[in-house]
Chains A and B, each alone.
Chain A
Amino acid sequence: MNEWLALLPVALFLGMACLLPALPRAWAAWLTPATIVFSGLWALMRLEVGQTLDYSLMDYSLTLVAVDALGLLMLGLFHLAALAGSLFIAPSKDRLQHSALLAYFAGGIGTVLAGDWISFFIFFEIIALSGVGLVLAARNTQATAAGVRYLLFQIAAGVTILTAILIEGGRSGDWAMRPVGLDTPAGFLFLLGFGIKAGFPLLHLWLVDAYPKASLAGLAVLVAVTTKVGLFGLMTVFPGEPWLVPIGVLMALWPTGYVLAERNLRRVLAYSMMVQLGLMVVAIGVGTPLALDGVAWHIVMDVSFKMVFFMAMAVILTHLGTTDAHRLGGLAKTMPWVASAVVIAAMANIALPLTGGFMSKKMILAAIEGSSYPHALYWLMASLSVMGILYAWVRLTWRVFFQAPLEPTPTPTKLALPISQRLAFLIPISVVLLVGWLPELSQGFRPFGSDVTVFTTKTVVAQLILLGSAGLAYALLAHFGFGLPKEGVRRLWDANLVYRWLFRTLPSHLVIAGQRIQGALSSPFKTGFGWLAHPRWPLKHLGQSWPIGAMALWVAALFFVLLLLGIL
């Protein structure tokens, strides 16, 4: 039974998620982080690369756990993110948020430890369902509607992945997770399913719709698992798949206008996730060990600095009741803790040297530079840091915390951030700074075994020149009135146009078409079988309408008779 202990982190998270609703509300605040710390310490001491847990289910021999280096890195990240998230929502007594958070990370840990597709899929669905819980826990009508739309996309991704798994497993008889080419139907379905999860362009609509409307816990942690498991899936199935390169480029550039013009800053953050995800999809397409190591570390960094931004927005929303760009400004005076954390996160976002963002992004860029792809791809991806200057630094940091608001800010009073929330900010910030200050961390632990040093004088100077020249150019342009307009746009066309068609126009057309088909089918039926209800017909009650309960009773009776016949 000892080998089953490999599943202890998942069991602890899931067990506590189920138990919390039955316990007193006040206990959630310390039980959730305590569970995560215990699980993390246990995993740190006991889990090691190469450990497996095999089991048999009916005729299948499955590997519930197969620990590898990438899985361990993600496991560590998920524990840290879960801890930060749980500390962040510790002041809240909402047990749904605590439970959903634990279940969400249980799913995440399960997927990165899974050794076969069926186990992977089970945890994959736990992520989807608990993610919906994190959105719905906001308990308002908008979040509920967005949560349902989120669920539809997640179910679509789940069904697509399941179909791919069944096709691939059925064809080869091998259920182990492994690369699959795009030349098979299963490969195409894997791409589609993981594309939904990772937020490929046009499949990303759930992301920019649901994340900004999520509960506090959702705002804090949704960035950590769903999209990252999508990337994990792509890394497993399509390392080095050339099609991922153009998809990733499109993905990284798609949100340019939105991150720089959108008025709701939570939505800006949701869109900004696509930029980093796109960069990582490109790197998976490049597929060299250095590129994949870069993706692995960039996942850690992206989760860390994005969590800080999202938690900052959650604090602002709770404190001021808005994340409207027009109404926020000068918050560094009232929220110095949050401001300091956001400044460091913004530095990591633009890959400033001595932050972890620099290390991971340089790994990816070095891999792209050394690949056979045109050099323009390298420069294009390198200039994403410049986009970071504009949205992460100018919009989310400078204007929100240091400049005067465009419209009056609602009651900006000094905020005493609870200690648990200060710790919540401290965790991702420490990760970002430690990885930046100690290059040997990311140098020494490379899941895919690359050994290229990226922290060199040249890379540091080059990045400083890139950022410095871009910053200077922007300062000059802004001085002469050509900077980013302060007025935001409420909503741009992409999510709305497609969403309106998908959730309003299409269903209404389907209903109308269904009614027409029903009418066309039922009229000859009614005419043909009209004699059944004729008053002189002795069994005329057969042609009358019956209550649905009576129908159900008769169907149940019929099934019972069939069952009896089957037994006899």
Chain B
Amino acid sequence: MMGLWPYAVTGVTAVVVILLATRWVRAFAQVTPIDQEAGDHGSERQDSGDSA
């Protein structure tokens, strides 16, 4: 099909660019969070009596 090849190029290019951008962002120094309690990266349990 004519006119569809730009989609393939965009797909491949986007993957490469996004992966490079991610590596670049990761290179930024981490800043100490405003709430410095341990486990802020997702280990807190919801304390609301739920039984999911």
Contacts and interface: CB of A to CB of B under 8 A. Distances in A.
A467 B8 CA distance: 8
Contacts of B48: 92, 94, 97, 137-139, 215-216
Interface string B1-44: 10110111111111110110110111011111111010011111
A76 to B, nearest CB: 27
Nearest to B33: A491
A496 B34 contact: yes
A321 B14 contact: no
A492 B30 contact: yes
Contacts, number: 181
A216 B52 contact: yes
A500 interface: yes
B25 A499 contact: no
A447 B48 CA distance: 40
A94 B4 contact: no
Given A256-B21, A462-B4, A216 B46 contact: yes
A421 B49 CA distance: 16
A266 B46 CA distance: 13
Contacts of B29: 493
A390 interface: yes
Given A94-B50, A142-B40, A503 B34 contact: yes
Interface stretch (A63-71, A185-193, A437-445, A479-487): A479-487
A324 interface: yes
B39 to A, nearest CB: 8
A380 to B, nearest CB: 9
Contact of B28 (A94, A458, A473, A493): A493
Given A383-B11, A473-B12, A491-B33, A263 B52 contact: no
3 cross-chain pairs, A with B, having the tightest CB-CB distances, nearest first:
A257-B25, A470-B11, A469-B11
Given A389-B15, A473-B12, A496-B34, 13 more contacts: A91-B52, A92-B50, A140-B44, A216-B52, A256-B25, A257-B22, A257-B26, A260-B22, A315-B52, A386-B11, A418-B52, A477-B15, A489-B30
25 contacts: A92-B52, A94-B49, A94-B50, A139-B47, A141-B35, A215-B48, A216-B52, A256-B22, A261-B22, A321-B43, A379-B10, A383-B13, A458-B4, A462-B7, A463-B7, A466-B10, A468-B8, A469-B11, A477-B16, A483-B19, A485-B26, A489-B26, A493-B29, A496-B34, A499-B34
